[in-house]
Chain A
Amino acid sequence: MDPAAAPCVRIVYLARLREALARPHEDWPLDAGSTSVAALAAALAARGGAWSHELAAGRAVRVAVNHVMATPATVVRAGDEVAFFPPVTGG
Chain B
Amino acid sequence: MPVRVQDAAFDIGAEIDALRAGDPRIGAIATFVGTVRDANDGASVATMTLEHYPGMTERALADIVAEAKGRFDIVDALVVHRVGRLVPGDAIVLVAVTGAHRGDAFAACEFVMDYLKTRAPFWKKEATPDGERWVDARASDDAAAERWRDDGADRRQAR
Cα–Cα, bound, A83→B54 (Å): 11
CB contact under 8 A between A89 and B135, given known A14-B123, A69-B119: yes
Interface size class of A (residues with CB under 8 A): 10 to 19
Q: Per-residue 0/1 for A62-77: is the Cβ within 8 Å of any B Cβ (1 yes, 0 no)?
A: 0010011100000000
Cβ contact within 8 Å between A86 and B51: no
B39 within 8 A of A: no
* B120 → A minimal CB distance (Å): 5
B86 within 8 A of A: no
Cβ contact within 8 Å between A88 and B120: yes
Cβ contact within 8 Å between B53 and A90: no
A3 within 8 A of B: no
Residue from the list B92, B113, B118 in contact with A88, Cβ < 8 A: B118
B136 within 8 A of A: yes
Chain A residue, CB-CB nearest to B116: A91
Dominant secondary structure at the A interface: loop
* 8 Å CB interface, A23-75 against B: 60, 64, 67-69
Cβ contact within 8 Å between B137 and A86: yes
Cα–Cα, bound, A69→B52 (Å): 14
A12 within 8 A of B: yes
B101 within 8 A of A: no
Q: Which residues of B contact A87 (CB under 8 A)?
A: 118, 136-137
Cα–Cα, bound, A85→B122 (Å): 10
Cβ contact within 8 Å between A91 and B117: yes
Cβ contact within 8 Å between B121 and A91: no
B81 within 8 A of A: yes
B42 within 8 A of A: no
A6 within 8 A of B: no
* B32 → A minimal CB distance (Å): 9
Binding site for A on B (CB under 8 A): 34, 50-53, 55-56, 59-60, 81, 92-93, 113, 116-125, 134-137
23 intermolecular pairs with C-beta atoms under 8 Å apart = A14-B123, A15-B123, A15-B125, A16-B123, A64-B121, A67-B53, A67-B59, A67-B60, A69-B119, A85-B53, A85-B121, A86-B134, A87-B136, A88-B118, A88-B119, A88-B120, A88-B123, A89-B134, A90-B120, A90-B123, A90-B124, A91-B116, A91-B122
